Structure 1
Amino acid sequence: MCGIYGSLLPYSSQEVAAKMKLTNFRGPDFYGYKAIDLPNGKKLSLAHNRLSILDLDQRSHQPFVYDDSISIVYNGEVYNYNEVKKVLSNLGYTFRTTSDTEVICAAYLEYGKDCVRKFNGMFAFVIHDAKKQILFGARDRLGQKPFYYSTVGEGFEFASQLSSIQLHNQHLSISKNAILDYLSWGVIPDTSSIFNEVNKLPAGHLFVYDITSRHFETESYWDIDISKSPSFAGSYGEAKDELEEILADAVKIRLVADVPVGVFLSGGVDSSLVAALATKTTSEKIRTFSVKFNEKGFDESQYAAEVANHLQTDHHIIECDPKEGIDLVENFTDFYDEPFSDSSAIPSMLLAKYTRQHVTVALSGDGGDESFLGYHRYNWLTYLSKIYAIPKFLRLFGAEILKLAPNYRLKIISETIKNKNIDEAYLRTMSNSNATWLETPRNTLEFEELKYLFHKNKNIYERASDFDLKTYLNWDINTKVDRATMAYSLEARAPLMDYRVVDFARSLPTDYKFIKGNQKRILKDILYKHAPKEIFDRPKAGFTMPFKEWFKKDLKDFVLSELSENELKAIPGIKVGEVTKMIDQHMTGSWNRYSLIWKLLVLKQWLKTNGKGLSIK
């Protein structure tokens, strides 16, 4: 887990070093730089901030050179590298390190761009092929590792984080569409960034940049098959056994490291299953970590402690101090270098900060909800399906009745069921399209990812699951976890995002995952083989901050100061009067508007820190 950078622009070594210093928290163990003279008289700069995980020796420092003609900068892990290495060794390749970096280089020489199909991992890398005079790179299947790039003018520049491209760049402008996307989704979707001139490489894609012709081309090497319904023909018992075998291996290969490894343990199904399988994999005592909140309804640390006690792990509980949380709020954009409004980033950062004091790698339960239908909104789809089964005029009449209710939740339902079909109604739950507080709402029907939701080859549960994996998991969860853990030089690994798990989950009949309100059915039944069912017999809780109360109490003065009517005028795209009313609603308790408040606080902070002198267009 590291930070990478490269450029064909004429930056000096000092300027490149300054760019990398902005994100040296991603890899504090070693800074590497290499300048490569090109046949066209230009120079390629490659730089790397290393967080040493495998082969801690300096021989594995980057930029790494293999076979004289191949140079690489690489962020992430290829978990099956030993398996790939064995095949390559049998083909005659030799290796001088025990790292996965060298294996990627050899695999590229043997398989070309198809090498990425051999890798099971999370990664973003760029290879300079001196013989072909190309840059070849790729991002992992699910987008766990970030990759920003710019092809403006005659240059090409890439980085793990946006700030490295931003520094010393005189040609950037803020994207108005990206701001509107952020105000709708709470994140800036792929392939955009907050700057018009910078893009993100989509998950599951590779690219080739021809240095001579300056031609840049991307290609998808992995995707979800939306053409057919789930195809697994075996029994539920057979599916459970096969999935457990895949999961056990996914956990096992993620425990391989030359540094201490632990597990994030929330006490929920996903993280508990990962912890349980980890304890079965190694004879060493697994270290587990959880966050404790004092606010009622947010603290699940007691359940995590019960699981840890049953599994006999070395458990650590990290108490979330409101003051420490507030400090992170005020410095949020130092690590999330484009607007990002998932408030669970704050407890994620606190968890990472204290976990790093004990281990360098932590396994997480991320990815289980998307593949195994675990979110509350999937259960809501059951009721929504019944609503959309009734005649349209009755549905719209019911919506008007609900609109008159004093309870704001019923008003939200009213707006949701006014959509023309269940697909658009689900989309509305994921974005605030048609928001009254936006001057010009972004059309959320323009996104390419809607193809995963707007088709009829699968039922609504499977389509929503696919859509969330390509959007919410990629755009939100992976961004949150990468930045939160990297802020403290901690590597997070997610066994449930192993592509074998994802593919297998999509082959299963829906009722193996979700039946009669029993969400993540198959994961639970595997978990209950390792931990008592009684511990998990409770409603699902999200990993969120108690901002609803903090914004009315501890942070009230901060909110009212930062988002006063005068301050709101600095935020483009919003109706100041409408937003002021909505903030008042939150302070009086008539409507929970914490997500809007947090979204605006983050955007305002980012614009204040990064927007000076830049045009918005």
Structure 2
Amino acid sequence: MCGIVGFCDFNKRSNADVLQKMTQSLHHRGPDDSGTFFEEQSGFALGFGHTRLSILDLSPLGHQPMRVGKMVITFNGEVYNFMEIRERLEKEGCTFKSHSDTEMILYAFQQWGPSCLQYFRGMFAFTLYDEEKQKLYVVRDRVGVKPLYYYHKDNTFLFSSTLKPFHMHPAFHKEVDMASLGLFLQYSYIPGPHCIFKHTQKLLPGHYLEISLTNRDIKLHKYWDVVDAYNQPKLDVGDEEAIRETEKILSESFNYRMVADVPVGIFLSGGFDSSAVAALIQKDRTDRLKTFTIGFDVPGFDEAPDARKIAKHLGTDHTEYYCSPKDAFDIIPNLPDIYDEPFADNSSVPSVLVSQLARKQVTVALSGDGGDEIFAGYNKFSQSIKYANGYPQWVKRSIAKTMGIINPDHIPVLNQQYNFSTRYEKMKHILQSNDPSDAMNIISQYIPQQEVKRLVAKEYKDYKTFFDLKEEFAGHNDALSKMLGIDYKTFLNDNNLVKIDRATMSVGLEGREPFLDQKVIEYVSRLPSHLKLRDGVTKYILKQIVYKHIPRELMDRPKKPFIAPLTVWFMNELKDFFLNYLDEGRIRREGLLNAEPILAMRNQYLSGKKVNHQKLWNLLIFEMWMEKWMK
């Protein structure tokens, strides 16, 4: 796990000093080593930077940027099957100097060009310079585990693992993209490829850019898409065969993620996903895995006792830590630096804490991310099907029409319930929809689009996102398959993976997601939906696998979200954050948001009324980000 950064400047105004500053800003992602590559030719200046967190081949031979022949690379991530590919390359005459997957990528590109990507199993983002062909290749892994941003304006192309280094380059013009701000307020994250800054994008997962250094042409190529996996013919298999094959693929994927020359641990929440990772890896080992859990002294939020019981059953070397309001208070001011694009999933707080806890003992940590999106673990899937298809259309239309006449704020008793007006408006729009995918999109919004328009001070044209993807699925996909595919390309990629990457990297810890091997989704996407969601039971097939290794009585309990209890803490310890950042003078000076509705919402919440705390959290995070990055 590392940080990568660089530029291709056709104006030739970039230099080695700028490159060095950009690279140094990513020190937290790679504290063990750093390096740069700078070259000027007649038509451009080219710079690569790299900060290294040593995981494989800890020797100086793994130093980056790395050159082999006429190719140079700066690489972030891991290709877990690199030894298998290396053996194939050796048979074709390649001679290796190191034991790193970085060198393998260079030789693979020499031999096969971009088609080599089909062989890679792992998480990666890299930029490769082919001097002979005068081309740059900017590549991101299939799922988007590893981040990669790029900025393109006025013949200057910048790329980086995060946005921080762009601020170090004089050609970067930091201007807030209003449509992306709207998306952030809606979802609490910004769905790709969009970014908070104009002229800036996230490189889409499963894609690469091909940049010609002679004619400055930039082409975007797709080499993998989860929709293509869902569009494959469905398998006709029974429970027993599906369970056996799924466990086999999971075990292989999980154990690939144990390949490292440094200590490895597991984030264990006590839920089915992280428990599956711990169980399937521990069962084949005599050494005790290290597992880590964060707990909270607030009822309804604490999973630590459950995780402790599972760790004891599996025989892992378990560590837990109880998060206090002070712990959260210490982290919250640093969130705009850790997440240098607005990001408001409040589970980022415990994610940073558990990363800090794990980093004291290990350099690599595995998580259970992806299990819910692959095996249908979220209630929003069944809710969307129920709301969209569970009632006759004439009934839904009639109810929605009536709801459109009534102001929810004028309904006695109900208008005192938590977040009632927002839930009322969302339900009205869900009833007007006949498609579960549309219903899921509405459910996924913390602030409905109509309300966002009232909060944002400037007009903007809405962006399309992958929530609008339903027409790309083949006819044999049912509603659940479409929603799973969409969630894989939205919430998983731009929320969950962002959360864990930035949290782990903030302390120099490599996070790995064992569920996100392409072999897992390419098989499970072809399984019939009743093996994922059956009679109201979520993650059916995964649960059957876990029950083989952990007793049901330890696992069967209500699902708890991995979030900090900010709703409890805000009214007391965190109140000053609202008063400081959601301040009328500040909001008016910036000119991006409307002060009146924000102040009204803030004052209602602080007076004890049941206002949606996530709305205020989104606004708070944005204002903290503005103070950090837009001054």
TM-score normalised over the length of structure 2: 0.92
Q: Structure 1 CA distance, aligned partners of 2:496 and 2:369?
A: 8
The question of 1:537 aligning with 2:540 is answered: no
Measured against aligned partners, the alpha-carbon deviations of 1:166-186 in whole angstroms (never above 9, x if no partner) come to 213244122222222212222
Secondary structure of the equivalent of 2:469?
A: helix
Question: Where does residue 252 of structure 2 map in the other structure?
Answer: 249
Question: Where does residue 95 of structure 1 map in the other structure?
Answer: 96
Q: Structure 1 CA distance, aligned partners of 2:474 and 2:227?
A: 13
Measured against aligned partners, the alpha-carbon deviations of 1:80-117 in whole angstroms (never above 9, x if no partner) come to 11111121122221211111111111111121111111
1:280, distance to aligned residue in structure 2 (A): 2.1
Measured against aligned partners, the alpha-carbon deviations of 1:444-475 in whole angstroms (never above 9, x if no partner) come to 67325511478683322221111111011111
The question of 1:416 aligning with 2:404 is answered: no
Distance 1:448 1:380, change over 3 A: closer
The structure 2 residue matched to 1:434, chosen from 450, 453, 468, is 450
Q: How does 1:32-47 map to 2 (within 5 A)?
A: 32-38=35-41, 40=42, 42-47=44-49
Question: Where does residue 58 of structure 2 map in the other structure?
Answer: 56
The structure 1 residue matched to 2:577, chosen from 554, 558, 572, is 558
1:399, distance to aligned residue in structure 2 (A): 3.8
1:231, distance to aligned residue in structure 2 (A): 0.2
The structure 1 residue matched to 2:209, chosen from 190, 207, 210, is 207
Whether contact under 8 Å (1:453, 1:463) holds in the other structure is no
Question: Where does residue 337 of structure 1 map in the other structure?
Answer: 340
Q: Structure 2 CA distance, aligned partners of 1:334 and 1:283?
A: 40
Stretch of structure 1 that moved more, 591-600 or 381-390: 381-390
Question: Where does residue 123 of structure 2 map in the other structure?
Answer: 122
Stretch of structure 1 that moved more, 572-581 or 288-297: 572-581
The question of 1:3 aligning with 2:3 is answered: yes
Q: Structure 2 CA distance, aligned partners of 1:379 and 1:570?
A: 44
Q: Structure 2 CA distance, aligned partners of 1:599 and 1:64?
A: 41
Distance 1:592 1:299, change over 3 A: farther
The one-letter amino acid paired with 1:415 is E
The one-letter amino acid paired with 1:429 is I
Q: Structure 2 CA distance, aligned partners of 1:184 and 1:198?
A: 20
Q: Structure 2 CA distance, aligned partners of 1:506 and 1:443?
A: 34
The one-letter amino acid paired with 2:331 is L
Q: How does 1:309-388 map to 2 (within 5 A)?
A: 309-388=312-391
Stretch of structure 1 that moved more, 399-408 or 601-610: 399-408
Question: Where does residue 615 of structure 1 map in the other structure?
Answer: none
Whether contact under 8 Å (2:15, 2:45) holds in the other structure is no
Measured against aligned partners, the alpha-carbon deviations of 1:339-396 in whole angstroms (never above 9, x if no partner) come to 1111111110111112101000011100000111101212322431455434144332
Q: How does 1:265-280 map to 2 (within 5 A)?
A: 265-280=268-283
1:319, distance to aligned residue in structure 2 (A): 1.9
Measured against aligned partners, the alpha-carbon deviations of 1:203-225 in whole angstroms (never above 9, x if no partner) come to 11011111111111111110123
- Root-mean-square deviation over aligned CA pairs: 2.1
Q: Structure 2 CA distance, aligned partners of 1:409 and 1:332?
A: 26
The one-letter amino acid paired with 1:169 is P
1:442, distance to aligned residue in structure 2 (A): 6.6
Whether contact under 8 Å (1:184, 1:442) holds in the other structure is no
1:151, distance to aligned residue in structure 2 (A): 2.5
Secondary structure of the equivalent of 1:417?
A: helix
Measured against aligned partners, the alpha-carbon deviations of 1:18-72 in whole angstroms (never above 9, x if no partner) come to 212222010000011122343x264321110000000000011001111x21111
The one-letter amino acid paired with 2:439 is A
The structure 2 residue matched to 1:17, chosen from 6, 16, 20, is 20
The one-letter amino acid paired with 2:192 is D
Q: How does 1:72-471 map to 2 (within 5 A)?
A: 72-172=73-173, 173-225=175-227, 228=231, 231-391=234-394, 392-396=396-400, 399=403, 403=408, 404=411, 405-406=414-415, 407-408=417-418, 411-419=421-429, 420-421=432-433, 422=435, 423-431=437-445, 432-435=448-451, 437-439=454-456, 446-452=464-470, 457=475, 458-471=477-490
1:230, distance to aligned residue in structure 2 (A): 6.1
Question: Where does residue 512 of structure 1 map in the other structure?
Answer: 531
1:527, distance to aligned residue in structure 2 (A): 0.4
Whether contact under 8 Å (1:514, 1:521) holds in the other structure is yes
Secondary structure of the equivalent of 2:14?
A: coil
The question of 1:611 aligning with 2:630 is answered: yes
Identity %: 35
Whether contact under 8 Å (2:419, 2:612) holds in the other structure is no
Distance 1:590 1:463, change over 3 A: farther
Whether contact under 8 Å (2:441, 2:467) holds in the other structure is no
Stretch of structure 1 that moved more, 487-496 or 169-178: 169-178
Measured against aligned partners, the alpha-carbon deviations of 1:297-341 in whole angstroms (never above 9, x if no partner) come to 111000100110000000000221321211211121112111111
The one-letter amino acid paired with 1:209 is I
Whether contact under 8 Å (2:137, 2:211) holds in the other structure is yes
Distance 1:65 1:326, change over 3 A: same
Question: Where does residue 585 of structure 1 map in the other structure?
Answer: 604
Distance 1:300 1:452, change over 3 A: same
Q: Structure 2 CA distance, aligned partners of 1:15 and 1:354?
A: 35
Secondary structure of the equivalent of 1:98?
A: coil
Q: Structure 1 CA distance, aligned partners of 2:472 and 2:418?
A: 28
Whether contact under 8 Å (2:25, 2:164) holds in the other structure is yes
What is the aligned length?
Answer: 610
Secondary structure of the equivalent of 2:218?
A: strand
TM-score normalised over the length of structure 1: 0.94
Distance 1:147 1:393, change over 3 A: closer
Secondary structure of the equivalent of 2:455?
A: coil
Secondary structure of the equivalent of 2:220?
A: strand
